[in-house]
Structures are given as structure tokens and as C-alpha cells.
Chains A and B, each alone.
Chain A
Amino acid sequence: MAAFSLKINGTQHEINVDPTTPMLWVLRDHLHMVGTKYGCGIAQCGACTIHLGDNAVRSCQLPVSSVGDQEITTIEGLSENGDHPVQKAWLEVDVPQCGYCQAGQIMTASALLKKNPNPSDTEIENAMNGNICRCGTYTRIRKAIKMAANTNQNS
């Protein structure tokens, strides 16, 4: 057990856990922020995607001890009122079926758009390929990302 001070969604959190604990379980079990999902535990499905600084990372492979003072953003903190352009586009296109993977999809998509505000289809596919949607909402996800990109361009 070791003490960690983590900055998550702009708030400092103090926790005492095994240093090998992945951020995924720190968020879910210790901080009760359950928007970040468990899907595979081996960085193959993307359900647990969060932002470490500006980068989309798989929190199931991110030991709490490696975070340091880097800022973490989770789906709960992506926007104040669920009004990030990507979240709005997701609602407008009505992307989800079961909805389980969508937080991870949104976190990957929002990191992509931050770095590349106007991605091509291929760039979208490359960025999103690590996020599995078992229900098969891929075409809607692509549509929503393009919609969010256009919103960004026009604002």
C-alpha cells in the first residue's frame, strides 16, 4: 500500500492503494467513478480509455504509481454538463446501442479531435481501431466524429 495524490477532472484526490493497481480500478473501485469501463484488462478493447494529459490511454494498463502529477480526465470530467462537442454529436446521432463501450469511444474521439480537428476517414479509422463496439455502432461513431469536427470548425 502506498499513498497517492492524483489530479482527476481538476480535483485532487488522495488514495492509499497497492502501487500496481491500474488506474481503471482506482477510478472504479476506490473513487467510485464508474464511467470508465472494464472490458478486457489487456488494452485490446478501449472501453477503459481516459486522458492522461492530452493523450488517450488505456487505464487498465496504467499503474497508479506511474501517473505522478500528470492530469487525468475521465468521461465524467470531459465537460461540465455533458456538452462537449463529441458528447453532443453522440446524442444527436443517437450512437449507442447497449452503450457500454461508448465512454471509451468518446474519450478516444475527443483526444483525436484535440490533436487533429479535421481528421480524414482513414485518420478516424486509425485512431478508433483500438476501441471495440460489440453492438456494431461503428458507422454512427464515424458520423458523430465528423459532426463534432464540423462543430469545432464552425465555432
Chain B
Amino acid sequence: MTHIKTKLGRRAFIKNTSLAGGGLVLGFSWLNSCKPKGADAVAMELEMPKEWYEINGYLKIGDNGVVTIMSPNPEIGQNVRTSMPMIVADELEVDWKNVVVEQAPLNTNLYSWQVAGGSRSISSSWQNLRMAGATARQMLKNAAAQAWQVPAGEITAIAGVLSHEASGNFAGYGEMASAAASLEVPEEIELKEIADFSIIGTSRKNVDGKKIVTGQPLFGLDVQREGMLIASLVHPPAFGMKLKSFDAESAKQMPGIHDIFSIKLYDEDYKKNTFHFTAFNELIAVVGESTWQVFQAKKALNIEWENASDITETVTMFGNDMEVNFPAGMEDSETHTTKLKELVTSKGKVTRKDGDPETAFKNAAKIIERSYSCPFLAHNTMEPMNFFAHVTEDHAELLGPTQTPEWMEPAVSEVLGLPLESIDIQMTRQGGGFGRRLYGHFMVETALISKKMKAPVKLVYSREDDMTQGIYRPAYYATYRAALDADNKLIAFHVKGGGIPESPVFANRFPAGAIDNYLAEDFTLNSNITTGAFRAPRSNFIAGAEQSFLDELAEEMGKDPIDFRLELLKRAQENPVGEKESNDYDAARYAGVLELVKEKANWGQSEAGVHRGVSAYFCHDSYVAQVLDMVLENNKPVVQKVTAAIDCGIVVNPDAASNLSEGGAIDGIGHAMYSGLTFKDGAPEQNNFDRYRLIRHSEAPKSIETHFVKNDIDPTGMGEPPFPPVMGALANALYKATGRRHYHQPFITDKPPLVG
């Protein structure tokens, strides 16, 4: 048993909400207001109790032993709504069959890090979730001890039953829940041993599965309310433009249209936080009775746009202010590429230097230099941006899909002029996130429209709105150089990368620490096109570039690509270059996934006609190696299989984690191979799935196999890490299959490279 404190100084991690005077713990279920026939089919399988007793902010126990566990974090498809409650349930010692899961509302008093970002949902709440379950278990034991007049230490709790062997007493959790709820939270509690976990580490099905396959309301777009109006926005047709004037008279006469007006999201002197990021401050809102009517009215507006001037804004990120410049002008992709190519050959900003790379390159017998690039990407969550708001004079209710309720609440509060305590934010299940819903401008927009209309409003982005008003994955460019001596030994390594508007290079990641002479450099190109986090930011490009380059380097040196990486990792482990702590990764765990994938994929024994590529990468504290098998069918590359090895510490829900690994591989192959957003005169050239290509069924791997490294390390990231490396494995397999290296994403349009 591990003993831990439930308080740190005056800060209590676990609060007894019934003693605290009934703070808002249990948000009302929004589904109740729009429940079609059969919506309760799932819940009906479990008999509901007559009374619920709140033990703490994470759970309540019914008089019949049924337990409701709150899932605090936004659910974007990473399956936290199942895996977070699993952690609580395991420590509580309750049968998973008796657990009902509810989405918790935003509550910064009860929960920490209610964010879907950085693959941190599980890792950042791991301890709190365990503590919530373990504290409740202890309180139930204490209640039983009082009732039976026996020492609490002699009571055991197994699968929802408390028992005292000596006296022969036993009781279900439901019988002790009322008494337990009135007890003080113990100051110290015991956590289970990892070996004793009975739910964590076992595969449990998605708690929303039945509702998903029967089409029950779950998502933001599904919200319906009495008297609710539908709103949609019109934004400038190009980055670098703004609203000049508009005439809505004829559109206002269209059936079902209630009002058309412009909204301004913030005043010029308003200091935005990073997550209140948006390209266009002034938008036209069309409000009406149905989505179709509103979409039609948008087309009937007469609007004049004008060129925006250069704007510099102060943006605050976790308390630090920074200046962000949006230059004037309409940009296009061709110019971007030209400028990036110029910048990569100009003086960069050195971010790490080991040894004397300049001299090593000067004395090299051979220098290999390759350049890589990728385009902007739109997140394209299948559920477009949307939100519901009901703003009155003294209260704002917001409901919908957001990855950052906690960080958007202050923005909503400030824009509406309402105190934080008057803002209630609840989360629906979300039709994908991928980073797009970190930027919650749509919450502010909906709130402003509801305030103006004095009515409940659901804002709906059309797919075209969603794709052309994005917070895109930046376009990146990187050049890698390696110096070999006369013995074909690697003596120096140089990476120089930049992008619009940030560099993708992580200077202290592999192969930093494994090569004596090492140089990393950054450059940036400013733009008025809004960019932000996209599943595994920066890694989602640099992993593929780096892993392709290492593959080419291994070939040049006559080495097996896995052995070559393992040699470098051995050096980084045994005799790292630079201070050991300056290297971000753990070389032993890195090598571990390569060894595992080598074994599981039977590396070195591939069948005739099967072309293999390998890749390995570290991000979000986790390690992923992938082997990709490709065959040519009618000269077309087909991915037959991906074998993945992952070290993300303790795996809470293995089958669900495998699902993320499969999705990550498909997502990575899809974006590297097919996707891209290009600009002409400031406007995206793709605005829907007819021109923006996403991977489809026939292009997905025929099979994907995932193997997890077994260890007792606290869980690390799982949502993002499987995504970046597969792009390298794909490029390396493509080379084996076609004889041609691919350097520029999307590979499907990559012309024969300039070098190589």
C-alpha cells in the first residue's frame, strides 16, 4: 500500500461536497430536455437508486450500490469518459458493471486540468482520480467501522462489499453510503498496489457505445432547447481582409430569419489569451429558426470587404504577455514556399550546439543534405465548430464541444461583463478535437449572439466556415545535414527548421545527445493566417522528416535502419553528449520500443514483394515505434500492415489505447499522403471534402497491430504519440516500394525531388 495525503497545506485535493454546503457538483443532465424515445435504453439496464449520496466531487453512491463517477475532462474521442472513471472505480473497489458515468461540468474548485490537450488527461489526473476512489473506499470503511464498532483497519472492501471477518458483518456500499457521505475526508489514505489493480489494465468498452450506435443525442450539434434559435456566421473570404459594410435587408425578409447583425468579438485594447485566438474580429451573424434557413440567408447577403491593415496584438499565455503580429496583405502558398526556402539558407537562430559542427562539416568526406516540407492542414473534426449559449442579464449558460472550458471561461466572462461565478460551462461529447477546439472563439461568438437576441442560441459552422476559418497546422520546412568521415562514420548532424509562423525543431530530442557535433537552428516566417496546435504540434511534421533522414543516412552508411538507431541510442544512454538532463528523452525506453517492434514485426524476415519502413519517435512523454508494410497493387502503393510498439507507462484501457494507436497510424498516413490546405490571394483553395482530401476506407492499412511495453511507470501520453512517427515509416516504405524518396507532403503530389 502507498500512503498519501489528501491535503497539501491548505489545499485539499479531495473535497466532501455534501459537507461543503452543496457546491455545484452534479450538473443537470442536458439530455433530459431533449430525450427521444429509447434514450434511456442504456441506463435502464441498471436499476437506478432512490437516493444518491455524494461522497466527493468525483463520485456519488446510490442506496442500492450503483455508483456514479464524474468524468472531469472533455471527451474528444480519446476515450477519457471511460478511462478516467475506470481509475476511480478501481481504487473505490467497485464492480464496473455497477458504474454509471456522467460528464462533469467545468468546476475549477473540484477538478484540475479540465482540458483535452497535450495528451495529458490521464497523466495529469492519475493521482487525483486514484485518490478520489481510495478516499471514498476509506470513508465507506470508516462508516462501517462505526456501525459495527470494529476497527476500520480490519474491514475489507471488495467489489462494492464491505466485510469484517471476525464479527461476520458485511454490507454493500449502498447501505453505508449515507453514513460515509457525512464523514470528514480522512487526511491520509492508502492507494492500491499496481499489482492489485482489477479494472486498470483491463479492456472496458466505451461507456457511450450504445448511445453512439443508436444515434442518441450526445454531441454539441445535437443540443435542442425550448425556444432555441440557430445562428451562423459569415467571415471574410480571405485572410488579410475585414468587413467594410453589408446590406442584409433582403436576407432579413427570408422565411424563418429573425435577425442579421455584425458582432465584434473584442475591443482593440482587449488582451486575449492564447486560446481566445481567432483570425477575424468582426463577423456577420445570421439568426433564424432552422439551420437550412440560416445557411440560405447567408448566401443572400450583400457584403463589402476591405483589406485589413497590419495588426499587432498583445496575447497572454499562462500569464506571460507576448506580441503577435498579423501582417497586412493576401498571402499565397507559392510565395510561402519561396520565402521558406530563402530562410532555410539564411542565418538561423541556434537552439543547441554540441562540439564543433562547423569544423566537422568542413572536414567531412561526404555530406548528405535533404530538405523536407509540409503544407498547412485544417483540423476537419467531423463535427464542425458549434456551441450553445443562453445568456441573460445576470447569467450565462454555455454547453458544447470545447477542449479548454477552463481557459475560455475568463474570456466569456470578460466579453459579457459577467463575473466568473455567473458563467456555467458544460461539455457535450465532441465529434473530434485534434487541437481545433482548444481555440474557443466560437464560445464567445455564441454568447454574444445569445446576449443580443435575448434567447438561447446554437451557433453552427458550415463545413466551409469550419475549413476556411481555421486555426491551422502551420506549414513547415526543414533541412537536415549529416557529415560522414572517410570511414563512413557519422561525425556531425545539423537540423535547421522553420515554419509559418513557428519552427518545428525540438533541439533537445533525439538524435541530440547521440552525436558529438550537433547543431539545431530555428527560423520563422510571420503570417496573418491563423495557426495553432494540431495533434502532436510540431512533432506532426518533424518526426516524419527526421525519421526519413535517418533512414537515408543508415542506407548511406550501409546499416540496418533499426540497428543504426539502436547504436545512436546506446551512445545517448551510456555516454550522452551534453548534460544528460539536457536531452529530453529516455534513451533506454526509446530503444525499448524499437527492440519490441523489431521482434513483433519479425524485422529482417519480410516476405517477397512486401516493402518495409520503420520509424520511432518520442513525444508527450511516450515512445512509439512503427513498422509499415507496403505492397504495390497495379503500381499503386497499398499499406498492408502497421505494427506498433508503444511505451506509455501503465495502460489504463488496453483495447481503447490500441484503437488510438490504430487511429494515429491511419491519421498519420492519411495526412502525410493526401492532405493539404493551400492559399491563393489569402483564401484557402479547399473549403470542403471534395477538394480537401482525407484518407478513406480503401486507403487505410489492411491491418494494424499494437504492442505495449509492460511496466509500472505512471501513465504518459497516448492520444498524440502514435500519430507523428508513422509518417516516417510511410516515407521509408514508399522508398523501398518505388525506389524514390518522398520529401514533400502530401506525398501523393510530391514531384521528383530536387535532390536525392
Q: Which residues of A contact B (CB under 8 A)?
A: 1, 17-18, 20-22, 25, 28-30, 32-42, 44-45, 47, 74-76, 78-79, 81-82, 87, 90-91, 94, 96-103, 106, 121, 124-126, 128-142
User: Contacts of A28 on B, CB cut-off 8 Å?
Assistant: 221, 291
Bound: A94/B657 CA distance, A: 11
Which of B381, B697, B698 has the most chain A CB atoms closer than 10 A to its own CB? B697
- Say if the beta carbon of B2 comes within 8 Å of chain A: no
Cβ contact within 8 Å between B214 and A82: yes
- Say if the beta carbon of B79 comes within 8 Å of chain A: yes
Contact of B293 among A18, A32, A106 (CB under 8 A): A18
Residue of A nearest to B660 (CB): A97
Bound: A37/B215 CA distance, A: 9
User: Contacts of B665 on A, CB cut-off 8 Å?
Assistant: 136
Cβ contact within 8 Å between A128 and B662: no
Which of A40, A81, A128 has the most chain B CB atoms closer than 10 A to its own CB? A40
Bound: A75/B695 CA distance, A: 24
- Say if the beta carbon of B212 comes within 8 Å of chain A: yes
User: Contacts of B656 on A, CB cut-off 8 Å?
Assistant: 94
User: Contacts of A30 on B, CB cut-off 8 Å?
Assistant: 290
Interface of A is mostly: loop
Cβ contact within 8 Å between A126 and B205: no
Contact of A96 among B206, B217, B383, B667 (CB under 8 A): B206
Smallest CB–CB gap between B753 and chain A, Å? 28
For this complex, 23 residue pairs linking A to B, each with C-beta atoms less than 8 Å apart, are A17-B290, A28-B291, A35-B215, A39-B383, A42-B688, A44-B689, A45-B382, A47-B382, A75-B214, A75-B215, A76-B215, A96-B212, A98-B381, A98-B431, A99-B206, A99-B431, A100-B382, A134-B381, A135-B667, A136-B666, A136-B667, A138-B700, A142-B697
- Say if the beta carbon of B219 comes within 8 Å of chain A: yes
Bound: A69/B380 CA distance, A: 36
- Say if the beta carbon of B690 comes within 8 Å of chain A: yes
- Say if the beta carbon of B107 comes within 8 Å of chain A: no
Cβ contact within 8 Å between B703 and A98: no
Bound: A25/B462 CA distance, A: 13
Which of B219, B430, B689 has the most chain A CB atoms closer than 10 A to its own CB? B689
Residue of A nearest to B381 (CB): A134
Count class of interface residues, chain B: 35 or more
Supposing A40-B688, A99-B429, A125-B698 touch, asked if A135 and B663 sit within 8 A by C-beta, the answer is yes
Smallest CB–CB gap between A121 and chain B, Å? 8
Quick one: CB contact mask for B631-671 with A, threshold 8 Å, 1 for yes? 00000000000000000000000011001101111110010
Cβ contact within 8 Å between A137 and B698: no
- Say if the beta carbon of B752 comes within 8 Å of chain A: no
Cβ contact within 8 Å between A139 and B662: yes
Bound: A135/B203 CA distance, A: 19
User: Contacts of A36 on B, CB cut-off 8 Å?
Assistant: 215
Cβ contact within 8 Å between A125 and B697: yes
Contact of A94 among B76, B206, B670 (CB under 8 A): B206
B residues 213-269 touching A (CB-CB < 8 Å): 213-219, 221-222, 224, 230, 255
Contact of A106 among B213, B218, B219 (CB under 8 A): B213
Residue of A nearest to B669 (CB): A136
Task: Please name the 6 residue pairs, one residue from A and one from B, whose CB atoms are nearest each other, closest first.
Answer: A35-B215, A100-B431, A98-B77, A136-B666, A75-B215, A136-B663
Supposing A99-B212, A101-B382, A135-B77 touch, asked if A37 and B221 sit within 8 A by C-beta, the answer is yes
Residue of A nearest to B208 (CB): A99
Bound: A129/B429 CA distance, A: 25
Contact of A40 among B208, B664, B689 (CB under 8 A): B689
Smallest CB–CB gap between B559 and chain A, Å? 32
Quick one: CB contact mask for B682-725 with A, threshold 8 Å, 1 for yes? 00000011100011111011111000000000000000000000
- Say if the beta carbon of B349 comes within 8 Å of chain A: no
Cβ contact within 8 Å between A82 and B206: no
Smallest CB–CB gap between A30 and chain B, Å? 7
From B15-23, B33-41, B57-65, the one touching the partner chain is B33-41
Smallest CB–CB gap between A19 and chain B, Å? 11
Contact of B701 among A91, A96, A98, A139 (CB under 8 A): A139
Smallest CB–CB gap between A38 and chain B, Å? 6
Bound: A91/B76 CA distance, A: 18
